A and B are shown apart, each in its own frame.
Chain A
């Protein structure tokens, strides 16, 4: 993906990003060992999406050990004494299932989508690897090379990924959000097996995880099976909190890169609050107004009308655990300079500050978010992921509040947040200049 840094988030909101169907019968409980369990019956297809969400991501990493959460995610597939190397994938595939995992700044998530009558197998596999991972030095050594290759694909050899990492680094002085999720190359090469084992012990425990399953099962029956397997795992000491608070930014920060590429790229990031602030709702609406669809503002103005950008957009991560960035990006059309592209983006910022968005823009964004909630109901995988996303920020029922609050956002709210956060001396800007 071209804009791997931001586009995935957008996708999350566009595709999964909401869903206020109240009256969803979620069976929610917390086991004695602290494991949070959310089960939702959905009998339309004979399948289940079974997901484990650990509250650990690059946010929990120390300087010098960036990428360790993601490295561990890879190691979660390398075996336990019960299920050796390659067994996880083999058993899932043999049962017609599909699995994958991802690491973000805030979480590490694992899923298996599989025929509903195979749920016992998944419960067994996931409860086993929550505490029994082997983490052999030899396996770590070979997987390290795989992670390095992944970094080459996504960062070294991808102009968008390469620039995104630099802009993240200048935007954050103190908070770990400034480090890349995949980790710096030097750290990936250096991290020791002991550190990975310690990281696993610190964060992989029932009281730091959320189990979500949506699909064709009987929730009380599945809960019994979950209790039987996961309930035996002892509660661990609470993982250390992330204490860093990003200090106020006192001036513009800028990075200019030159790399073999075909077209320039411009990234722009502003510090914004997360969902703990009431401003999160206007920011969320703003993101939609700017970027959702061909009628959205940046597409319409920069791509369609002025024809100066091949792509342009903005993105806000409502679900971020700590305050994060509001991103803007644009790829100039051939013949356009990054300077003029930057000016055009900043001019759009000024317009947002000086004029309220139109009623049509605001209503469209609200309708899009509400419709997205309905569309995501069509997929058990997306339903489960959405429950987890809201649970991570305070409770799955937050979903309902989310849509209500978005509905009440006004054009004046949007204008106010644009003025508050898109200050000219608070921007973090990255430009990639192509070298043929």
Chain B
């Protein structure tokens, strides 16, 4: 039972790559492409006898057919619910009996299966991991059960103002792109999904030539290659080419929306499309976002929380993904102060475009973004997530080093120039969840 002083930074920032600093001298992982197209990444961390494996397929919610929102999510959730050899409960018992975990799920860009086991149980864990990816059976009763659970979870999430606001904002920011549709779908769309949909989705999109496998922990590259090839070497891609997804295009005129709820506090969200790491302006944008609302010394934190006492949570962040990016700012405040907080947020966004950040602010942001790098890679799970993210977004395993160089070069003029492009208050969509009047 805990009460945190503020939200953990990673939770808030969400996307791993939104603030990936750098500094590793040697490559963070070994990389090779297996004959069937699987990209294998291995990072040896011998000290603790555990192994973490991530299998990432480019089979995310971006590939959901327009009337089948939630299909990737349901497919991911069903992978562990039955295979050619084991029922769902048998899979659960087998992995949990050795104190390990095996799970699968989908996000916007990809579907991920994750394994964590003690080194001594790696053979068992990889056998199960191979089964769930290659021979899932998608039993009808499991589909019915899982769909009902997802629908109930969607219904319950209507209680959470952050989730409600986030969904509404995504729709406004990405009106013509799958990123505007919730990964989990809606109660209605999930109700329409059939076993055929799931089987087809898995068959077409979970395929070796778009799959990344990261193995991190107490294992050598040679052992990892042998173990992975033994389970995944014979996996063949379907004859059709992998699908393509169009990048997000800028939305229409920014809009505002108020969602009424019986709450004592209102959640305010500002959001718009931004740029991803392949755009050189991404690095000044990251610095700008950090100065505006990245940490406990940021402008929004200082004005809204420290000086104003108006909010517990207030922050801004860049959220890059494979097919597009967004920049958001958010705060939760008592109903009566909503107009005041909106004014402060707009004013601080505008000030970033109007005047250069101070040398002190610039220095702090850069030193934090670069210097906190080792903390982001201090466990096997974090390393696995990082290498998968870098590979899946096509950034290269040296991304961390380039990030460091690029951030170090950012000037106050760069920050102002990029802020002028992306921080103009009138270019933001806005969502408020809460009571409309005090």
**Are B118 and A374 in contact, with the CB atoms below 8 A?**
yes
Decide: A86 near B296, CB < 8 A? Known: A98-B9, A371-B100: yes
Q: Any chain A CB within 8 A of the CB of B96?
A: yes
Taken together as a complex, chains A and B put the C-alpha atoms of A360 and B89 apart, in Å, by: 14
Option from A93, A293, A364 in Cβ contact (under 8 Å) with B297: A93
- Judged by a CB distance under 8 angstroms, whether A380 is at the interface is yes
The answer on a CB contact under 8 Å between B3 and A70 is: yes
On whether A93 and B364 interact (CB within 8 A), knowing A146-B311, A374-B50, the answer reads yes
Assess the A146–B2 pair: CB atoms within 8 A.
no
A159-B159 in contact (CB<8A): yes
Q: Among the listed stretches B130-138, B168-176, B373-381, which one makes contact with chain A, having 4 or more residues with CB under 8 Å of it?
A: B373-381
Q: Is the CB of A44 within 8 A of B50?
A: no
Contact (Cβ within 8 A) A95 B93: no
Distance in angstroms from B268 CB to nearest chain A CB is 12
Q: Are B332 and A153 in contact (CB under 8 A)?
A: yes
Of B49, B262, B312, which one neighbours A146 at CB under 8 angstroms?
A: B312
A309-336 with Cβ < 8 A to chain B: 310, 331, 333-334
Docked complex: A1-47 residues within 8 A CB-CB of B: 4-6, 8-9, 44-47
- How distant is the Cα of A152 from the Cα of B266 in the complex, in angstroms? 10
- Chain A neighbourhood of B114, CB < 8 A: none
B49 touches A144 (CB 8 A): no
Alpha-carbon distance A9/B152, docked complex (angstroms): 25
Query: In B301-350, which residues have CB < 8 Å from any A CB?
Result: 302, 305-313, 332-334
Chain B residues with Cβ below 8 Å from A100 are 4-6, 8
Interface size of A by CB at 8 A reads 84
Question: In the complex, A372 Cα to B116 Cα: how many Å?
Answer: 11
Which chain B residues numbered 236 to 277 have a C-beta less than 8 Å away from chain A?
Answer: 261-265
Q: Does A89 contact B (CB under 8 A)?
A: yes
With A44-B45, A143-B309, A263-B156 as known contacts, state yes or no: A89 contacts B296, CB within 8 Å. Answer: yes
Instruction: From known contacts A86-B296, A94-B364, A146-B309, infer whether A363 and B371 are also in contact, taking CB-CB under 8 Å.
Output: no
Closest chain A residue, CB of each to CB of B100: A371
Does B4 contact A94, Cβ atoms closer than 8 Å? Answer: no
From residue 113 to 150 of chain A, which have CB atoms closer than 8 A to chain B? 113-115, 141-150
Contact of B2 among A94, A103, A147, A158 (CB under 8 A): A103
Q: Which residue of B lies closest to A370 (CB)?
A: B99
- Chain A residues with Cβ below 8 Å from B312 are 146-147, 149-150, 153
Enumerate chain A residues within 8 angstroms of B151, measured Cβ to Cβ.
334
**Are B97 and A360 in contact (CB-based, < 8 A)?**
yes
The answer for the CA separation of A95 and B373 in the assembled complex, in Å, is: 11
Task: State whether B295 touches A47 (Cβ < 8 A).
Answer: no
How many of chain B's residues touch chain A, expressed as a range? 35 or more
Interface status of B155 (Cβ within 8 A of chain A): yes
- Is the beta-carbon distance between B374 and A97 smaller than 8 angstroms? no
Nearest B residue to A168 by beta-carbon distance?
B1
B50–A375 touching, CB < 8 Å: yes
In this complex, what residue of B is CB-closest to A70? B3
A181 within 8 A of B: yes
B158 & A150 in contact (Cβ 8 Å cutoff): no
Q: Within the complex, what minimum Cβ distance (angstroms) separates B79 from chain A?
A: 13
Is B148 a contact of A333 with CB atoms below 8 Å? Answer: yes
Beta-carbon contacts of A291-305 to B below 8 Å, as 1s and 0s?
A: 011111000100110
Which residues of B from 365 to 396 have beta carbons under 8 Å from A? 367-368, 370-375, 377-381
Say yes or no for A90: interface residue by CB 8 A criterion: yes
Q: Determine if A89 and B295 form an interchain contact, defined as CB atoms under 8 angstroms apart.
A: yes
Interface pair A364/B96, CB less than 8 Å apart: yes
Q: Which of A93, A102, A149 is close to B368, meaning CB atoms less than 8 Å apart?
A: A93
> Contact at A90–B297, with CB atoms within 8 Å?
yes
C-alpha gap A371/B121 in the complex (Å): 11
Residue of A9, A95, A371, A378 near B99 (CB, 8 A) is A371
**Residues of A358-379 whose CB lies within 8 A of B:** 360, 363-364, 367-372, 374-375, 377-379
Give the distance in Å from the alpha carbon of A182 to the alpha carbon of B1 in the complex.
10
Cβ of B149 < 8 Å from any Cβ of A? yes
Are B97 and A101 in contact, CB atoms less than 8 angstroms apart? no
The contact string, 1 if C-beta is below 8 Å from chain A, for chain B 143-177, is: 00100110111011111010000000000000000
B405 at the interface (CB under 8 A from A): no
Q: What's the minimum C-beta distance from B414 to chain A, rounded to whole angstroms? A: 20
B101 touches A (CB below 8 Å)? yes
Q: With contacts A367-B99, A374-B118 known, is A262 near B155, CB below 8 A? A: yes
Q: State how many angstroms separate the Cβ of B15 from the closest Cβ of chain A.
A: 17
- A359 smallest CB distance to B (angstroms): 11
B309 to chain A, nearest CB (A): 3
What's the least CB distance linking A74 to chain B, in Å?
6
A351 contacts partner chain B, Cβ-Cβ < 8 Å = no
Any B CB within 8 A of the CB of A202: no
C-alpha spacing A381/B378, complex, angstroms: 10
Closest to A332 in B: B152
CB neighbours (8 Å) of B372 from chain A are 93, 96-98
Report how far A337 CA is from B260 CA in the complex, Å: 27
Chain A residue nearest in CB terms to B158: A262
Contacts of A422 in B (CB 8 A): none
* B96 x A77 contact (CB < 8 A): no
Residue with the greatest number of chain A CB neighbours at <10 A, chosen from B3, B152, B265? B3
In the assembled complex, which residues on chain A have CB atoms less than 8 Å from the CB atom of B140? none
Q: State the Cβ distance, A100 to closest chain B Cβ, in Å.
A: 6
Answer whether A292 and B96 are a contact pair too, CB < 8 Å, given A98-B375, A262-B155.
Answer: yes
Residues of B within 8 A of A154 (CB): 3
CB distance from A207 to the nearest CB of B (A): 24
Which of A102, A261, A295, A363: most chain B Cβ within 10 A?
Answer: A295
Min Cβ gap A304→B in Å is 7
- Partner of B374 from the list A4, A46, A74 (CB cut-off 8 Å) is A46
B149 & A310 in contact (Cβ 8 Å cutoff): yes
Chain A, residue nearest B150 (CB): A310
Instruction: Report chain A residues within 8 Å CB of B49.
Output: 374
On chain A, the residues within 8 Å of B157 by CB distance are 262
Is there contact, CB below 8 Å, between B265 and A156? yes
Q: Does A9 contact B48, Cβ atoms closer than 8 Å? A: no
In the bound complex, CA of A152 to CA of B99 (Å): 38
Q: Which residues of A are found within 8 Å of B374, using beta-carbon distances?
A: 45-47, 96, 115
Q: How far is the CA of A296 from the CA of B97 in the complex (A)?
A: 10
Task: Report A252-274 CB contacts with B as 1/0, cut-off 8 Å.
Answer: 00000000111100000000000
Given contacts A93-B295, A156-B264, A374-B50, 8 further A-B contacts (CB under 8 A): A44-B47, A47-B378, A93-B368, A94-B367, A97-B372, A149-B311, A153-B312, A181-B1
Q: List 28 A-B contacts (CB under 8 A).
A: A8-B2, A45-B378, A47-B375, A73-B3, A77-B296, A86-B296, A90-B297, A90-B364, A94-B364, A98-B372, A100-B6, A102-B2, A143-B309, A149-B309, A149-B334, A181-B3, A261-B159, A262-B155, A262-B156, A262-B157, A262-B159, A292-B96, A293-B96, A310-B149, A331-B156, A364-B93, A375-B48, A379-B379
The 10 lowest CB-CB distance pairs between A and B, nearest first, are: A96-B371, A371-B99, A145-B309, A89-B296, A142-B309, A102-B2, A150-B312, A152-B265, A294-B92, A149-B312
Interface residues of A (CB under 8 A from B): 4-6, 8-9, 44-47, 70, 73-74, 77, 85-86, 89-90, 93-98, 100-105, 113-115, 141-150, 152-154, 156-159, 181-182, 260-263, 292-296, 300, 303-304, 307, 310, 331, 333-334, 360, 363-364, 367-372, 374-375, 377-381
